[in-house]
């Protein structure tokens, strides 16, 4: 297992700079009042492909040698990693194959194809997904880029906290959502090196609380297909992300589905920006844990803004 270092984060930052946005940091009087904290929102919903995942995927793709790159890249994901890897491959001019369950929403498939990704569908099971992916990589020699259990991906995600610290100044705490743990790992790596006093909080849906349970138990507990509106957070920790979570995270905080949807709606209403449910979980946990964050300077990573606008969660949950 190769553990990425902060030098890898800096190298990643230079490598991906031409292909990504240095996203802005927004503030909000409303949310400062509600939380009692000074919140600094790093807007990765404005990132290329609509999510932070483009950082890690782009770093992985541009880390390949020309020989490796020629055979293309492949992954399994029906979410932002699929979009991001497709776009990164398009930027480098190489093919990208994405394995998706045939049950994935048409809108997601269209978005991947919009970035030049090629989709191979499979049965909606872990086993089918892995078998399909393996047959692709064996046939084409395409290089597999895991959504988060990959040192290049983690180093890429670490560039986000690096920018945030440069833009926002010293932070008492940083809050990001946790699914597989790529963003939390990258943020931990950066903060441990350039801002060790910054506490790292991971925000997770109650209904997909495997990171919370892992953190409390002291070892990885996997969850098989948990059901939450925060569809980017349904995956489990893996050894590489567990390495960072177990060493650097101060706590894992939970929010209910209702709290996630309420926070998401409130951000749209008051900040006038579009964020996705997986992203709203951070603010939901901040608002319900006022004593932790009160009077602190808190970095909040708004991880993405890819939402199906014709199917908003408050139409059903609210």
Interface residues with its own copies (CB under 8 A)?
A: 24, 45-46, 50, 265, 268-269, 271-275, 305, 309-310, 312, 314-315, 318
CA distances from 287 to 262, 279, 313 (A): 11, 14, 19
Smallest gap from Cβ 99 to its own copies, in A, equals 25
Distance of closest approach, residue 231 Cβ to its own copies, in angstroms: 17
Tell me the two tokens of residue 69: 């790159």
Q: Is the Cβ of residue 145 or residue 301 nearer to its own copies in the bound state?
A: 301
Shortest distance (Å) from residue 53 CB to its own copies: 15
As measured in angstroms, the least distance from the Cβ of 306 to its own copies is 9
C-beta of 90: minimal distance to its own copies in Å? 13
Q: Which residue, 30 or 193, is less far from its own copies as judged by CB? A: 30
Q: Are 153 and 56 in contact (CB under 8 A)?
A: yes
Query: Of the two residues 24 and 105, which places its CB atom closer to its own copies in the complex?
Result: 24
Taking the C-alpha atoms of residue 243 and residue 259, their distance in angstroms, rounded to an integer, is: 29
Is residue 117 a contact partner of residue 86, using CB atoms and an 8 Å limit? Answer: yes
Shortest distance, position 146 Cβ to its own copies, whole Å: 26
Specify the length of the chain in residues: 318
The Cα–Cα gap between 111 and 113 comes to 5
Q: Is 6 or 46 the residue whose CB approaches its own copies more closely?
A: 46
Q: Which is nearer to its own copies, 27 or 125 (CB)?
A: 27
Looking at the Cβ atoms of 27 and 103, the one nearer to its own copies is 27
Question: Of 21 and 213, which CB lies nearer to its own copies in the complex structure?
Answer: 21
The whole-angstrom separation of Cα 53 and Cα 65 is 21
**Distance between CA atoms of residues 113 and 211, nearest Å:** 32
Q: How far is the CB of 143 from its own copies (least distance, A)?
A: 27
Q: What whole-number distance in Å separates Cα of residue 216 and Cα of residue 287?
A: 22
DSSP secondary structure string for all residues of 17-77? GGGS----EE--HHHHHHHSSEEEEEEGGGSGGGBTHHHHHHHHHHHS-HHHHHT-EEEE-
Candidates 313, 300, 307, 318; CA nearest to 107 is 307
Between 65 and 269, whose beta carbon lies closer to its own copies?
269
Rg (CA), the chain: 18
Count the neighbouring beta carbons within 10 Å of the beta carbon of residue 227.
10
| Closest separation in Å from C-beta 272 to its own copies | 4
157's tokens: 């995600």
């Amino acid at each position: 297992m190769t553990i990425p270092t902060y030098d890898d984060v800096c190298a990643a930052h230079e490598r991906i700079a031409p292909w990504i946005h240095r996203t802005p940091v927004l503030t909000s009087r409303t949310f400062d009042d509600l939380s009692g904290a000074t919140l600094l929102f790093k807007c990765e919903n404005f990132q290329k492909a609509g999510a932070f995942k483009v950082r890690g995927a782009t770093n992985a793709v541009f880390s390949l040698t020309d020989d490796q790159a020629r055979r293309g890249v492949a992954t399994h994901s029906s979410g932002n990693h699929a979009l991001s890897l497709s776009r990164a491959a398009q930027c480098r001019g190489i093919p990208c194959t994405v394995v998706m369950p045939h049950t994935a929403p048409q809108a997601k498939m269209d978005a991947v194809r919009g970035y030049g990704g090629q989709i191979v569908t499979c049965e909606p099971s872990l086993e089918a997904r892995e078998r399909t992916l393996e047959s692709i990589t064996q046939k084409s020699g395409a290089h597999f880029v895991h959504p988060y259990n990959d040192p290049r991906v983690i180093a890429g995600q670490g560039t986000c906290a690096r920018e945030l610290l440069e833009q926002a100044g010293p932070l008492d705490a940083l809050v990001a959502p946790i699914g597989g743990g790529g963003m939390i790992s990258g943020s931990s790596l950066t903060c441990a090196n350039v801002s060790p006093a910054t506490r790292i909080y991971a925000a997770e849906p109650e209904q997909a609380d495997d990171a919370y349970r892992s953190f409390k138990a002291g070892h990885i507990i996997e969850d098989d297909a948990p059901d939450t509106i925060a569809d980017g957070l349904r995956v489990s920790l893996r050894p590489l992300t567990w390495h960072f979570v177990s060493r650097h995270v101060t706590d894992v905080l939970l929010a209910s589905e209702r709290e996630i949807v309420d926070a998401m709606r409130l951000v749209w209403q008051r900040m006038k920006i579009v964020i996705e449910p997986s992203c709203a979980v951070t603010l939901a946990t901040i608002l319900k844990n006022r004593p932790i964050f009160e009077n602190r300077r808190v970095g909040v990573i708004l991880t993405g803004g890819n939402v199906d606008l014709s199917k908003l969660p408050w139409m059903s949950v609210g």
